[in-house]
Structure 1
Amino acid sequence: MEAQMHENGDTPVTLESKKTVRNNDILFLIVACLITGFLIKLPQVVGFLPQEFQFYQKDAGLILFLGLSTYVFLTNKHLVMKHLFISLAVFAVSAVYINLLPVVKESHSISLAYIHLPLLLWCLYGLIFIDFDTKDLKKRMDYLKYNGNIAILSAIILIAGAMLTAVTLGLFSAIDMNIETFYGDYVVVLGLVSAPIVATYIIKTYPAVTQKIAPIIANLFTPLVVITLVIFLISMVVTGKDPYNDRDFLLVFNLLLLGVMALIVFSVTETTLSKPKRFNVWMLFGLSIITLLVDLVALSAIVYRLGEYGFTPNRTAVLGSNLLIFGHLVLIMIDLFKVT
């Protein structure tokens, strides 16, 4: 028996079992990608113009999360039918609701619905990812870490896809074959919607890959973002630019906040799940303080604009998101201070 053992401790039976599971995962990956690709091309299949119904604004996020959820459910070894039915019901209600909204170009309320539906589905996907086990803190942390990993891997996949696209189009143009339209309409579109699903497959099947890449990315970008934010705040004071009277600048300000907040959460999960280095913890603590100051400026600008121009759906949503960011930043900063 010992002679049959491999260096990693796996017997031939174990290796065969792992190979079967991996082959099944590839099959499930192909199925999920094909379903997602078919749904995203539904306007061309059925025969209607997507821009007339704002199809992609309404349904792109829905289709993407449906594809990701399909893959997770297919690869779940302990599928609970109750969880499947709840998920299908939420997706069905969401699809009916968002597609019954009127097609209006200038409507803040409808635009907010387009923005917040993917956020709702992101929360649902989180429940599916952790198998609806909300009491397990490790699973919830794994989901936060997964979001950072999928962003990194999806970016790598898309960059590799762009390089392959350039090479492919160059080769066919060299023999006077024009495939740009077909390639763009089918291969590129299918690749775009499949990238997060493929990234999920890599994270699930080859966890060692992301365990090495993700901490490096987090540790590399945290100091750079700290320096960038400090220079940005100084430059804002020097140039006299402020978010109080400039709506577009306030929008950029809030997008900056969301991006930095995502980096902080991702970096904190990496620090929590690995042995934290003192320098990294101090960097995260400093970044959370600076981001908190930026958020206070954004909050004061929003309150000022509410007093000057009154409440609107957009301002109310931005105020709520900033209050959520502020609360989470305070809690993160307190926890980081305890370990510094």
Structure 2
Amino acid sequence: MNTERTGLERQIDQWRAFVARRPAIAAHDVEEMEDHLREQVSDLAATGLDDDEAFLVAVKRMGKLDDVSREFAREHSDRLWKQLVLFPDEHPGGGAPAGLGRFRDLGILLALAIGAGLALKLLTLATGDESRILLNGPFLVLPFLAGWFAWKRDVGWRTTTALAAVTAALAVAVNLYPYFRGEPDPGTGDVYAEPAMTLLLAALHAPVVLWFLFGVVYAGGAWRAGTRRMDFVRFTGELLVYLTLIALGGMLLIGLTFGVLSLAGVDFEPFVEDWLAPFALPGALLVAAWLVEAKKSVVENIAPVLARVFTPLAALMLAAMLVALLAGKPLDDVDRELLILMDAVLLLVLFLVLYSISARDPQARPGTFDWLQLVLVATALAVDAVGLTAMLVRIAEFGFTANKVAALGLNLILLVHLAWAGRLTLGFLRGTRTFAATERWQTTYLPAYAAWALVVAIAFPPIFAFT
């Protein structure tokens, strides 16, 4: 038995002795808890954590289910903070550095990030059309991220081949469509019209389909499992937080560099546009994904914490919006962008609900925050009902367009999602339903968004004559 394994067994022995001292726990209960702990450690080790990290995270997770284990995790929480460094200096029992495996993973990921940057750079050299770059960029970048996770998750070749085929078919379809680009000038032959709305819709919705395909890779091919889908939801939220932090730090660094070089008479802008941006954007995505995975579950996730902070603020904002809509100008005179704003509102509420649910202890009794979430959902549905009525009036008066139908469809999908979530939450608060039903609904409904995004990207261009 190697040194690291001996260290793990020593920690499990210490944990078992601690639990066995509790007078309310029988010997067979200790054995059952130990089996569960070992399963958790094994699962976490398979994701890339070393044994020491896997043990600490497993104990922390069990702390959500058992008061004794929670007490143990609290007593030894100082060691969790020591795991926050990116690369530990050495193994718990001495010997070879424990960070070598992570250095290898990071090295491979950085190589993939450079490959994604080169692909994006070649795309910009091949076409100067910004709409085409927007359309094809995700098809060139996301496969590199999916490749890294396929390697980490050991995804089978059949799943990988099927996902690659679907991605390629989608890319070919959206690129072969003859999008309308406007009438050419009779004198010069130049076309100055804006890109077709169906082209922009395809560019916005195709990445949504790709992200769900990537979710299958992230889940190791086991996409049907509700727990894997919720893990993907958590990953997405944490990734957005990390990306935002990296983007803010990057913009600050670029701004300072730009200012210093400007004072020195050096034009930094061409380098940023031609070289830094094509490599920085995919690089930030892949590095953020690596950071989320490297420190997954070592400390509490950030997205659920932000959800708890912004839930009461969002409820107040929605109440103010409802009053403004009811007391403002007539519904048939509202701006045409209202439906898009309503979609943004419902998406915000959905994110707050999802990430609050993802971090909630399913065994806990209903509390004040659960009631607050119900108020948030009910207020959002009331605001959306008013906004949806206004948009239906405008559509009846001015007719359908591609962007209106796309926004309307998303609005209805969000409406059903949140309405049923609110019904399940109310049942949980009244004691007629379990919290598991609410959580299961959130993950079961997710493919509806991918299906609608696929319809918009593939079916809308021919339906609306590629305009």
Counterpart among 301, 318, 330 of residue 407 in structure 2: 318
Cα gap change, 1:110 to 1:27, in 2 (>3 Å): same
Structure showing the higher helix proportion among its residues: 1
Tell me the equivalent position of 2:152: 75
Tell me the equivalent position of 2:328: 239
Distance 1:329 1:198 in 2: 33
Counterpart among 231, 239, 260 of residue 349 in structure 2: 260
Looking at CA atoms only, which structure, 1 or 2, has the larger radius of gyration?
2
- 2:342–2:411: 8 Å Cα contact kept in structure 1? no
Which shifted more, 226-235 or 19-28?
19-28
Cα deviation, residue 17, structure 1: 8.4
Counterpart among 51, 57, 62 of residue 134 in structure 2: 57
Which shifted more, 234-243 or 270-279?
270-279
Cα deviation, residue 186, structure 1: 1.8
Cα deviation, residue 12, structure 1: 5.8
Counterpart among 89, 109, 116 of residue 29 in structure 1: 109
Cα deviation, residue 141, structure 1: 0.6
Q: What TM-score, normalized by structure 1, do the two folds share?
A: 0.86
Tell me the equivalent position of 2:167: 91
- 1:243–1:249: 8 Å Cα contact kept in structure 2? no
Tell me the equivalent position of 1:101: 177
- 2:339–2:387: 8 Å Cα contact kept in structure 1? yes
1:236-290: CA deviation from partner (whole Å, max 9, x where unpaired): 2333264764312333233322233233223322335796872322221111111
Tell me the equivalent position of 1:120: 209
| Unmatched runs of 5 consecutive residues or more in structure 2 | 12-50, 53-90, 182-193, 430-467
1:93-117: CA deviation from partner (whole Å, max 9, x where unpaired): 1222222223524534333322321
Give the aligned residue type for 1:172.
L
Q: What TM-score, normalized by structure 2, do the two folds share?
A: 0.64
Distance 2:420 2:330 in 1: 30
- How many residue pairs are counted as aligned between the two chains? 336
Counterpart among 99, 104, 125 of residue 19 in structure 1: 99
3-state SS, counterpart of residue 271 of structure 1: coil
Tell me the equivalent position of 2:78: none
Distance 2:120 2:360 in 1: 37
Cα gap change, 1:18 to 1:86, in 2 (>3 Å): farther
- 2:332–2:393: 8 Å Cα contact kept in structure 1? no
Which shifted more, 11-20 or 154-163?
11-20
1:108-146: CA deviation from partner (whole Å, max 9, x where unpaired): 433332232112112211111112213321111111111
Among all aligned residue pairs of Structure 1 and Structure 2, give the percentage whose two residues are the same amino acid: 25
Which shifted more, 243-252 or 149-158?
243-252
- 1:87–1:124: 8 Å Cα contact kept in structure 2? yes
Cα deviation, residue 13, structure 1: 7.9
- 1:127–1:134: 8 Å Cα contact kept in structure 2? yes
Tell me the equivalent position of 1:143: 232
Residue 224 of structure 1 pairs with residue 300 of structure 2? no
Cα gap change, 1:249 to 1:136, in 2 (>3 Å): closer
Give the aligned residue type for 1:49.
G
Distance 1:261 1:126 in 2: 18
Counterpart among 283, 297, 300 of residue 386 in structure 2: 297
